[in-house]
A and B are shown apart, each in its own frame.
Chain A
Amino acid sequence: MMRFMFLVASLLLCAAAFGAEPVVQLNSATVAPREIEDNTEKAVVRDYTRAWQSLAIALSENNSAALANDFVGQAQDELQQRVSAQQKSGLHTRYIDHGHNVQAVFYSQDGSAMQLRDTARLEVQMLDGDKVIHSDQFTQNYLVVMTAGDARWKVRVLQALPAK
């Protein structure tokens, strides 16, 4: 029975780590200087969700191609460098995403850029080959800048902030 429960728990963990969509909740009540239109809000939630999925795949599989559609600029450079460094050292990082509470704080007047504050609940396993060398479950604040382009919003800045 215990073995069965362990198997189910492991499968759920794997499902959470690979493929399952993280839950992203966006609050835009205090955004300035421009309000976010309903369709834009839906698009940002959709694309930010995808970005975290892509990040998890890229760092787990050391596959920087997974980042191409969802990241741009500084955020893409950082993640590509991380993937490349992991590849060289035989390391991997596994993300289990427990959801994001996102607050929109800035939406540019021309509608081309948006800044978000994300409080993410994450579980991260760091692996050397197949061996888990460290795992951590934590809540992390991120400062995010997304820019519009190619019919989708892409993450341009994804910067973790220390707790205040």
Chain B
Amino acid sequence: MNMLRLIQFAFLLAALLFAARVAEAANLRVPTDATAGAEVTIPTSGSGDATFYLFGPGTAIKRAVKFGEGIRLAGSDLQFSGRYTAVLAGGGNSDSGVFFVAPSKPADIAFLARPSRVPASTRQVISGTAFVFDNNNNLVTQPTAVNFNLGVSQGRPETRTVSTKDGVAYVILDSGRQAGAAQFTASLNDDNVRRVVQVTASDPCNLRMRAQPAKNGILVETDTIRDCAGNPVPDGTIVTFTEVDNTGRSTVDARIKKGIAQAQLPPSQSAQLSVAAGVVVGNEIHWSSH
């Protein structure tokens, strides 16, 4: 009976010693709230020499350490947001842990604005996309307010505040009525990124021409060509004059020069004259030389 108790005691003692040994084994407590660029210390337990490894975005560290001492990781070891794996090995023991480093505060903005040139008074034509980063260029996943502003001088700017989703905010805006260089900015706190969008006159409005006899035909000339908001249509825009008579059709393409377009059409005793620019059709004239 005594012998049996002695054996039971010996087993219990062995189990307790084993448990104590396991408790003494390498133990790594990885951080639960690490932030990019901020230093952390990883506490360990046990005793003796060990090797510490850290694998993460932009990082691979191998360092000789002591079990039981805290392992200090500098901010530069954790500058990138993402998944990190820490491994502590030595003396036949090994422990590992995975932790995540979150981006730090929003600090920088990357801004894509398209297109660089748009016609005035056009709906849903200008797009702006902002990516929000922290000091270490990690995409900030927490919602962040980005202010978008589009305006031309002497015009009323259009302003929108959009919250980022997974680091991205975007707007799609109409172009203003006024032609000119529009300033398109995306701003975040003190960081302000500016792009220029050139707003040009839209399609001509009320395209009108007049005709008069010329030495070798008919001289046709438009009034000053403007869009519906009164912006002069840029020089170089093509205007097409057409003459139809009993001999057939004649067409002349002329470029706008100093705001007007003119051309000389073949002589005719009776013809129908018309003018167009792009999809816009102007007035018609019935020409008669009598």
Q: Which residues of A does B touch, CB under 8 Å? A: 33, 74, 77-79, 81-82, 85-86, 89-91, 93, 105-106, 108-110, 112-113, 115, 117, 124, 126, 128, 133-134, 136, 138, 140, 143, 145, 157, 159-162
B96/A143 in contact, CB under 8 A: no
Give, as a whole number of angstroms, the nearest-CB distance from B206 to chain A. Answer: 32
Give, as a whole number of angstroms, the nearest-CB distance from B28 to chain A. Answer: 11
Give, as a whole number of angstroms, the nearest-CB distance from B106 to chain A. Answer: 15
Partner of B139, one of A140, A143, A162: A143
Partner of B55, one of A113, A126, A140, A161: A126
B170/A109 in contact, CB under 8 A: yes
Q: Once the chains are docked, how many angstroms separate the CA of A145 from the CA of B58?
A: 17
Q: Which residues of B does A touch, CB under 8 Å? A: 51, 53, 55-62, 80-83, 85, 87, 89, 94, 96, 98, 100, 102, 112, 114-115, 127, 129, 131, 133, 137-139, 141, 165-168, 170, 172
Q: 20 more A-B contacts (CB under 8 A) besides A145-B131, A159-B81?
A: A77-B58, A78-B57, A79-B57, A81-B58, A85-B61, A106-B165, A106-B168, A110-B114, A112-B112, A124-B85, A133-B89, A133-B94, A134-B53, A143-B141, A145-B168, A159-B57, A159-B141, A160-B57, A161-B100, A162-B102
Interfacial chain B residues near A161, Cβ < 8 Å = 100, 141
Instruction: Evaluate whether A108 and B170 lie within 8 angstroms (CB atoms) in the complex, with A157-B139, A159-B139 already known.
Output: yes
Partner of B62, one of A89, A112, A160: A89
B57/A115 in contact, CB under 8 A: no
Taking CB as reference atom, which chain A residue is nearest B138?
A159
Taking CB as reference atom, which chain A residue is nearest B125?
A109
Taking CB as reference atom, which chain A residue is nearest B55?
A126
B141/A128 in contact, CB under 8 A: no
Interfacial chain B residues near A112, Cβ < 8 Å = 112, 114
Q: Once the chains are docked, how many angstroms separate the CA of A117 from the CA of B53?
A: 29
